[in-house]
């Protein structure tokens, strides 16, 4: 079954989305991440979507769901690498990803997660 | 008014929409055609995103159908024209369906209204019980 790999680095989970996701794949990622957060007792989730050249309302909702679910499980989610054209399109579509923490790249995202862990 | 013609590079091939992976195919075709028409990266992204929303509607609400994506030109204007067709239950109230937040599925209700914002023209022809045809154009 097609899956997006989730890497574990200490108490942080790292996901790099590199394929054009169909809806089922996005749903599976949300399920897998939720399970991994609990299993690995993760405190942070970093999702790198710099390779995604499109985020529509379905993928946007999935991202919001990951952020909300992880928060309930006491983990922080940061989404990084959103392309400028994708950001413009998301806003025009009517999705501002409210409640989702974002960073420009993986490095800044890791910094954000470290800062969140110290709070 | 001159009728839009489909030029050589715009040969609008029909893509059947029967499963989630087909929505990805429609996105890829929309990207190819938008790039061929000379749109900027941001415009291409908007067209591809709208194509994704509309193809998903065809699948989720229409129970499947087909899409055609092609390059069109009228006089000096060029653009991308996308047609989505299904023979599903149809849309009872088109104005309501275009409103943000209105949904009959489990989504956010941004698909139709959002797509209209991302494109230049969006025409919905729907007969309850017979199906829906959406013609969407983004002009340069």
Residue B106's pLDDT is what?
Answer: 62
Q: Confirm whether B7 is domain-assigned.
A: no
pLDDT at position A117: 85
Average pLDDT for A28-55:
96
pLDDT score at B135 = 97
Ordered mean pLDDT values, 10 residues apiece, chain B (140 residues): 49 90 97 96 98 96 96 92 96 87 74 93 94 96
Mean pLDDT within A42-71:
96
Query: For chain B, how many structural domains are there in total?
Result: 1
CB-based contact A23 B52, cutoff 8 Å = no
| Nearest CA-CA partner of B100 in B53, B60, B42 | B53
- Within-domain flag for B117: yes
Measured distance CA(B128)–CA(A58) in Å, rounded: 25
- Out of A25, A57, A84, name the one closest to residue B53 (CB): A57
How many CB atoms neighbour CB B129 within 10 A? Answer: 10
pLDDT of residue A1: 73
Q: Tell me if B6 is assigned to some domain.
A: no
Average pLDDT (A51-70) is: 95
State the pLDDT at residue B11: 64
H/E stretch holding A6 reads: strand A6-9
Higher pLDDT, A44 or A96: A44
- CATH class, range A6-118: alpha beta
Mean confidence (pLDDT) of chain A: 95
Dihedral of the alpha carbons of A73, A75, A81, A82, in degrees to the nearest 10 = 40
The answer to whether position B69 is within a domain reads: yes
Please tell me the predicted confidence (pLDDT) of residue A53.
94
Residues of chain B contacting A94 with CB distance shorter than 8 Å? 100, 108, 110, 113-114, 117
Does residue B30 lie within any of the structural domains? yes
Find chain A residues with C-beta within 8 A of B117's C-beta.
Answer: 92-94
A54 closest CB neighbour out of B48, B56, B117: B48
CA distances from A108 to A2, A60, B75, B80, B113 (A): 29, 21, 48, 37, 34
Three-state SS for B6?
strand
Which residues form the domain of B131?
Answer: 18-139
- The pLDDT value given to residue A6: 97
B73 token code pair: 């030109």
Q: Does A74 touch chain B (CB under 8 A)?
A: no
Contacts of B11 (CB under 8 A, 6+ apart): B70
Residue extents of the structural domains in chain A: 6-118
Which of A22, A93, A94 minimises the CB distance to B23?
A22
């Amino acid at each position: 079954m097609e899956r997006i790999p989730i890497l574990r680095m200490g108490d942080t989970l790292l996901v790099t989305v590199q394929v054009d996701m169909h809806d089922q794949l996005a749903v599976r990622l949300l399920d897998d991440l939720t399970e991994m957060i609990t299993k690995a007792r993760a405190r942070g989730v970093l999702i790198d979507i710099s390779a995604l050249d499109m985020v529509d309302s379905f993928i946007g909702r999935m991202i919001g769901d990951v952020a909300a679910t992880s928060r309930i499980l006491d983990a922080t989610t940061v989404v990084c690498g959103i392309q400028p054209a994708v950001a413009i399109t998301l806003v025009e579509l009517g999705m501002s990803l409210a409640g989702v923490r974002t960073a420009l790249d993986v490095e800044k995202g890791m910094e954000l997660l470290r800062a969140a862990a110290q709070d | 008014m001159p009728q839009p013609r489909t030029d050589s590079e715009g040969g609008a091939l029909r893509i059947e929409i029967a499963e989630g992976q087909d929505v990805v195919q429609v996105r890829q075709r929309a990207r190819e055609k938008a790039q061929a028409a000379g749109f900027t990266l941001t415009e291409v992204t908007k067209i591809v995103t709208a194509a994704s929303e509309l193809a998903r509607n065809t699948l989720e609400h229409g129970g499947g159908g087909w899409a055609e994506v092609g390059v069109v030109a009228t006089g000096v204007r060029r653009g991308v024209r996308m047609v989505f067709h299904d023979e599903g239950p149809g849309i009872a109230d088109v104005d309501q369906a275009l409103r943000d937040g209105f949904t009959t599925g489990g989504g956010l209700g941004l698909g139709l209204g959002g797509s209209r914002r991302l494109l230049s023209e969006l025409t919905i022809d729907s007969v309850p019980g017979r199906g829906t045809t959406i013609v969407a154009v983004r002009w340069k």
